[in-house]
């Protein structure tokens, strides 16, 4: 899945997702939930 695909699934911007991927920005729980839903995973997977 590309950042663009993930952005479309979550409503988050490509630039924000890129910053999170590079570790220059952090996520709110609500954003993490959107990402986990897009991948069909439970949010606790990321902890």
Residues in the chain: 47
Q: What is the pTM of this model?
A: 0.87
What confidence score (pLDDT) does residue 33 get? 97
41's tokens: 């995973």
What confidence score (pLDDT) does residue 19 get? 97
What confidence score (pLDDT) does residue 14 get? 97
Tens-place pLDDT, residues 3-41: 999 999 999 999 999 999 999 999 999 999 999 999 999
Measured CA to CA, the distance from residue 5 to residue 24 in angstroms comes to: 21
Asked whether the beta carbons of 27 and 18 are under 8 A apart, the reply is no
Domain containing 8: what range? 3-46
DSSP string, 31-47: HHHHHHHHHT--GGGG-
What confidence score (pLDDT) does residue 31 get? 96
Total domains, the chain: 1
Residue linked to tokens 């729980």: 29
């Amino acid at each position: 899945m590309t950042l663009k695909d993930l952005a479309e699934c979550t409503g988050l911007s490509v630039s924000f997702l890129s910053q999170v991927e590079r570790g220059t920005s952090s996520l709110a729980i609500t954003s993490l939930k959107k990402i986990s839903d897009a991948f069909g995973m439970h949010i606790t997977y990321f902890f």
